[in-house]
């Protein structure tokens, strides 16, 4: 009896640790999220309303920020943007600025091909290919669910790859649901 109780506790420990690892992996992937054109962010500097703003990143990827001029944000993570603004404000203007950057809206993803309503849709964290297709009205009768491709831009280069319906998408992805042949 005592051995089975220890086995149960060991099993539960492994399960809890597995969930913890998955949660941390999800947080790490979002902490590595690189900003792109179309993302809407909020920059807050505690106690400095004139330095706080909400802005949608333009195609060029730069914004005009007070006391710093043009600042390129596309390709940076939220932590990198916070550090960049902190360093830019620290010194002459503020002694120890408290900077916080959050995403208000992610850039949209696009889905085309064999879905009922192809087009651009707002990204939401946790979207799989299947959920994205559901937002687009579902698959058509001719959809090849095993032949779905995504074009994703990273670090200025685009790459295309085949995905499964359960794979997660990212903001800015272009999903193509190919047609199957009978």
Cα atoms in the Cβ-side hemisphere of radius 13 Å centred on 32: 9
Examine the domain organization and report whether 100 and 113 are in the same domain: no
What is the residue whose two structure tokens read 């500097």? 45
* Cβ(67)–Cβ(60) below 8 Å: no
Q: Which domain holds residue 124?
A: 109-179
| Comparison of pLDDT for 24 and 172, the residue scoring more | 172
Pure H helices in 103-147:
129-135
Q: How many Cβ atoms sit within 10 Å of the Cβ of residue 68?
A: 15
Q: How many domains, in total, are found in the chain?
A: 3
- pTM (predicted TM-score): 0.73
Is it the case that residue 2 has pLDDT exceeding 90?
Answer: no
pLDDT of residue 3: 56
Percent of the chain with pLDDT over 70: 83
* Cβ(57)–Cβ(42) below 8 Å: no
CATH of residue 134's domain is 3.10.560.10
pLDDT of residue 181: 83
Examine the domain organization and report whether 93 and 123 are in the same domain: no
Domain stops at, among 74, 105, 136: 105
């Amino acid at each position: 009896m005592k051995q089975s109780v220890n086995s149960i506790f060991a099993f539960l420990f492994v399960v809890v640790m597995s969930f913890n690892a998955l949660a941390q992996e999800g947080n790490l992937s979002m902490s590595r999220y690189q900003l792109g054109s179309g993302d809407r962010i909020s920059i807050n500097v505690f106690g400095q309303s004139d330095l706080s703003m909400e802005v949608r990143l333009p195609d060029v990827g730069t914004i005009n920020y007070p006391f710093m001029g043009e600042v390129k944000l596309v390709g940076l993570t939220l932590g990198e943007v916070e550090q960049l603004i902190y360093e830019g404000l620290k010194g002459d203007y503020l002694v120890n600025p408290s900077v916080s950057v959050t995403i208000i809206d992610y850039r949209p993803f696009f889905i085309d091909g064999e879905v009922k309503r192809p087009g651009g849709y707002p990204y939401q964290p946790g979207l799989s290919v299947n959920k994205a297709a559901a937002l687009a009205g579902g698959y058509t009768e001719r959809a090849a669910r095993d032949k779905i491709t995504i074009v994703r831009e990273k670090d200025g280069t685009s790459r295309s790859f085949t995905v499964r319906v359960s794979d997660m998408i990212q903001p800015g992805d272009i999903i193509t649901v190919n047609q199957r042949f009978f």
